Copies of this chain bind each other. A is one copy, B any other.
Amino acid sequence: MLFADGGRAAVSFDQVARRAGASRTAIYRRWDTREALVASALRAFRAESETGLEDWADRPLEEVLDLFVERAAAALEDQFARDLLRQLVALGPDGGAITQTYLVEMFAPRRDAFSAKIREAQDDGQIDPALDPDLMQDLLAGALIHRLLLWGDLATDAAPKAYIEAVLEAAGFPRRPGHKTLGA
């Protein structure tokens, strides 16, 4: 995809028209700005790749964390998705319509679902009720994204697991003996 390859600037009306086998005029008729073009492309990509949010309600906390991280890692294994995210980062939170599209439509729902699950676990007394679910996600998602986007790989194959363990430990979640925390 053009955006994933070269960012916003690469999504030219010319190229889009050429790849769509349409005339530039037709593209201009449907989208009036480059941003609208990109936003549409993002939504199309999402519609195609989105498998829907899992129902996390009845699963144990550990499993939810696993799924959360596993999902993220799996998504970022795809080179295309990685490039896509890269360009979204390049735009940053001030990217106008594009940012709105992905932050609000793609990331926020999952983030909210995760937070809800955490709150639930807190109500059940499983983890420290003073925890901020957002911070937990920052650590988990941040570590993954940071490694994969900036360095290109994980420090260890077991890294995702280790991130989860660390967060659970910090959350006061009772660990099984013999568990590894941030261990190599």
Which A residues fall within an 8 A CB radius of B? 6-7, 9-10, 82-83, 86-94, 103, 128, 130-132, 134-136, 138-139, 141-147, 149-153, 155-156, 159, 162-163, 165-167, 169-172, 180-184
Please determine whether B183 and A131 come into contact, CB atoms closer than 8 angstroms: yes
12 contacts between A and B (CB under 8 A): A7-B7, A86-B90, A90-B90, A93-B151, A131-B181, A132-B156, A132-B183, A132-B184, A136-B182, A142-B144, A146-B146, A172-B181
Please determine whether A170 and B166 come into contact, CB atoms closer than 8 angstroms: yes
Give the top 10 A-B pairs by smallest Cβ distance, nearest first. Answer: A93-B152, A142-B146, A90-B90, A142-B142, A166-B170, A142-B143, A130-B183, A134-B155, A132-B184, A138-B143
Q: Closest residue to A171 on the B side, CB-wise?
A: B182
Complex Cα distance, B88 from A89, in Å, reads 10
Main secondary structure of the interface of A (DSSP, over half): helix
Please determine whether A152 and B94 come into contact, CB atoms closer than 8 angstroms: yes
Chain B hits for A87, CB < 8 A: 90
Chain B hits for A184, CB < 8 A: 130-132, 135
Complex Cα distance, B103 from A165, in Å, reads 28
Please determine whether B170 and A132 come into contact, CB atoms closer than 8 angstroms: no
CB distance from A95 to the nearest CB of B (A): 10
Complex Cα distance, B75 from A110, in Å, reads 30
Please determine whether B183 and A163 come into contact, CB atoms closer than 8 angstroms: no
- Pick from B132, B143, B181: contact of A162, CB below 8 A: B132
Chain B hits for A9, CB < 8 A: 6-7, 9-10
